Amino acid sequence: MLLFSEKTDLLYELLSLARSLADKNGWTVEALTIAQSSAESNEIIARGADTVLNLQSASSVGSLQPQQVAAVLEHITQSDHIVMVLLAATKEGNEIATRLAQKLGIGCATGCLEVQVQDKTVLAWRPYYGGKFVGKVSTKLLPAVITIQPRKFNPSLPSPDRAGKRVTLEFKLPPPHLEIIRVERKAKSAMELEKAEIIVSAGRGFKKKEDLELVEELAETLGGTVAGTRPLTEDMNWLPTDSQVGLSGKKVKPRLYIACGVSGQIQHIIGMRDSKVVVSINIDPNASIFDESDYYIVGDLYKVLPALTKVLKEIITK
Amino acid sequence: MVCVKITFDITLIDVDEQSRAPLLKDVPFKISDFDLNAVEEAVRLKERHGGKVTSVSVGPVERKDPIKRALAMGVDEAYFITVNETLNPDSSQLAQILHAFLRTLGSYDVIICGEGSVDEYNSQIGPRLSELLAIPLIAHASKIEISDRTVSAQRSLEEVKQSLRSTLPVVLTVGSEINEPRFPTLLQIMSASKKPTSVISTEELGVRLEEPTFSILEVLSPDSRRRRIKIEGDPKAAARKLVANLVQEGVLS
């Protein structure tokens, strides 16, 4: 098997899936890294890789373009007789995987939730119809090219006595297609959403940006983090992009998720479905978010949220 | 050229309570959400720079009708490539069909696709066309400008925002943040029916489809584990009841 992710924490998640598949099927696990130190490679070996292929490159991992990474993966896939390639289902990860599959003339399963191997066939599960359904798909070990949704697997834990090989890979990268003019790191939310224990999220039920204060106040009282649906983060720009929960945003699993004025479009549900307890507040008695909630209140969030914040403040001061 | 997928209106898909399978029989078809953004962006580029917008769709022939909306929005000419209904081409085969179509179309400067389709969200057509045509791809573009045969674009990845440039021809994929698709006027809707729509089969394009390497075996709705407990009362009473429940659950720290 061959693994790659431009993000180390996601590579560790891929390693935990890869290790269990490899052990069951008698495969070995190779991980591609770009211009990495030997200490970093050793960590990847300790977490489950049999071989770390470190590409010698003047560019760091973040500055290589998907089309260049796909070329390296194609080279390794062919020279090492790889049966399965796993990447993380980030925007770039999906592009790299799809390009690799196209180079090899085969299908590709993007955004998968689970992978199994049965009799030389790969079964994978991925969302359909906006996440309202889950489809079982099959692909062949030609190799199988698959991307895995972030945070579906726990990162593999290091065992320092694991043995593995560090190999230096020399490969002439194709010239980049795009000219990158400027890269700006996004302002990180005060706390990473994926790690938040309590999330208060806002949807289209809010009439204007200033009203999000109600959500912020509730989140602050609870020690939680604010999130939003795609219309709020992308179309209206009322909240930063990295606070988007949903199909094209973050997949979260907090212990408490409070959806305020969220209609419950399936694209949003897919991002919060793994939450432990879900609460929703919506004025529309038929809002579909209620089907995905443990507790719900049919009511005006402009009245319910201040009341909720007030009650919570009372218990905290007690 | 703009790639337009026509698929089910996913908001209208119900679940069969027995089998948990989707009930697709009477679900109407429409243009996939992000493909409307792709059409809108293509029409805006035409309005600024001239040229012509051609749309291409692939699917069973009975899904053809909704393409009228793209024509009403400003697409000049639509092509609908029909595939046998028993075949469910995977992304690799769809890209193969689109590639064959592009060869018959001749020249093009910009190919725009939605960043993923609302039904399957494979997100593969853009990258695959880029590979097949050996031209650059700017995926997830949120702003596009063209001058002197150079495309300048912005996009947002998970952790960074990028400004980038590419030569033409180029493949672009777009999502909902790039624009607000226009609502055509009645006049535009009426004149759309006079615009040319050509139906071609994959055979006429000379594409022979083999067994796909990726296939969907079954699609089922997961059981929702949620308890759906309604909290009643005026805002103050409801807030108290809710908090009492959450305290009991132990989810408040």
Task: Name which of A102, A114, A233, A316 to mutate to probe chain B: the one with the most chain B Cβ atoms within 10 A of its Cβ.
Answer: A102
Closest residue, chain B, to A270 (C-alpha): B222
Query: What residue of B is the nearest CA neighbor of A180?
Result: B164
β-strands A114-118, A121-128 pairing = antiparallel
Looking at residue A189, its pLDDT comes to 58
Residue A261 has pLDDT above 80, yes or no: yes
Residue A98 contacts B where some CB pair is shorter than 8 Å: yes
The answer to whether A107 contacts B119, with C-beta atoms less than 8 Å apart, is no
B161 and A184 within 8 Å at the Cβ level: the answer is yes
All residues at 6 or more sequence positions from B234 whose CB lies less than 8 Å from its CB, including other chains? none
What is the spatial order of strands in the sheet that A295-298 belongs to?
A225-228, A198-202, A256-260, A277-282, A295-298, B229-230
A80-104 tens-digit pLDDT: 999 999 999 999 999 999 999 999 9
Q: Check residue B225 and give its pLDDT.
A: 75
The answer to whether the Cβ–Cβ distance between A177 and B213 falls below 8 Å is no
Residues from chain B that touch A315, judged by Cβ atoms under 8 A, are 243, 247
Predicted confidence (pLDDT) per residue in A117-137, tens digit:
998 899 999 999 988 899 999
Residue type, B20: R
- Please determine, for residue B253, whether its predicted confidence score (pLDDT) is greater than 80: no
pLDDT band at A147 (very low <50, low <70, confident <90, very high): very high
Q: Does A180 touch chain B (CB under 8 A)?
A: yes
Find the mean pLDDT for residues A20-30: 96
Taking one residue from A and the other from B, the number of pairs with CB-CB distance under 8 angstroms is 245
- pLDDT tens digits for range A154-185: 999 999 899 999 999 999 999 999 999 999 98
The mean pLDDT value for A248-270 works out to 91
pLDDT band per the 50, 70, 90 thresholds, residue A43: very high
When pLDDT is averaged across residues B15-42 and rounded to a whole number, the result is: 95
Give the tokens for residue B162: 């990028």
Nearest to A97, CA basis, from B214, B177, B155, B215: B214
Cβ–Cβ < 8 Å for A31, A52? yes
Residue A265 has pLDDT above 90, yes or no: no
Chain-centre distance of CA A57, in angstroms? 27
DSSP letters spanning B56-98? EEEE-GGG-TTHHHHHHHT-SEEEEEE--TT----HHHHHHHH
Q: Is the per-residue pLDDT at A286 higher than 80? A: yes
Query: Between A289 and B210, whose confidence is greater?
Result: A289
Asked if the C-beta of A221 comes within 8 angstroms of chain B's C-beta atoms, the answer is no
Percent of chain B's residues with pLDDT above 70: 100
pLDDT band with cut points at 50, 70 and 90 for residue B110? very high
Average confidence score pLDDT of chain B: 94
Confidence of residue A188 (pLDDT cuts 50, 70, 90): low
Rounded Cα distance, A34 and B47, in Å: 43
Output the pLDDT for position A191: 57
The answer on pLDDT for A270 being more than 90 is no
Interface confidence (ipTM) of the complex: 0.91
- Cα B27 from Cα B60, distance rounded (Å): 15
Please give the angle made by the CA atoms of B42, B43 and B44, to the nearest 5 degrees: 90
| Least confident interval from A28-32, A130-134, B43-47 | A130-134
Query: What is the distance in angstroms between the Cα of A162 and the nearest Cα belonging to chain B?
Result: 32
Which is it for strands B6-8 and B29-31: parallel, antiparallel or unpaired? Answer: antiparallel
pTM to 2 decimal places: 0.85
| pLDDT value of position A234 | 85
Q: Taking 60 as the threshold, does the pLDDT of residue A211 lie above it?
A: yes
Cβ contacts of B120 within 8 Å, gap of 6 or more = A128
Kindly write down the DSSP assignment for every residue of chain A, as one continuous string.
Answer: -EEE-SSHHHHHHHHHHHHHHHHHHT---EEEEES--HHHHHHHHHTT-SEEEEE--SS-GGGS-HHHHHHHHHHHHHHTT-SEEEEE-SHHHHHHHHHHHHHHT---EEEESEEEEETTEEEEEEEEGGGTEEEEEEEESSSEEEEE-TTSSPPPPP-TT---EEEEE---PPPPSSEEEEEEEPPPPSS-GGG-SEEEEE-TT-SSGGGGHHHHHHHHHHT-EEEE-HIIIIIS-SS-GGGBBSTTSB----SEEEEES----HHHHHHHTT-SEEEEEES-TT-GGGGG-SEEEES-HHHHHHHHHHHHHHHHH-
Is B223 a residue whose pLDDT tops 80?
no
Q: With cut-offs at 50, 70 and 90, classify the pLDDT of residue B17.
A: confident
Q: Do B123 and A135 touch (CB under 8 A)?
A: no
pLDDT at A190 over 60: no
d(CA B190, nearest CA chain A) in Å:
30
Q: State the nearest Cα–Cα gap between A184 and chain B, in angstroms.
A: 5
Residue A59 reports pLDDT greater than 80: no
Residue A208 has pLDDT above 70, yes or no: yes
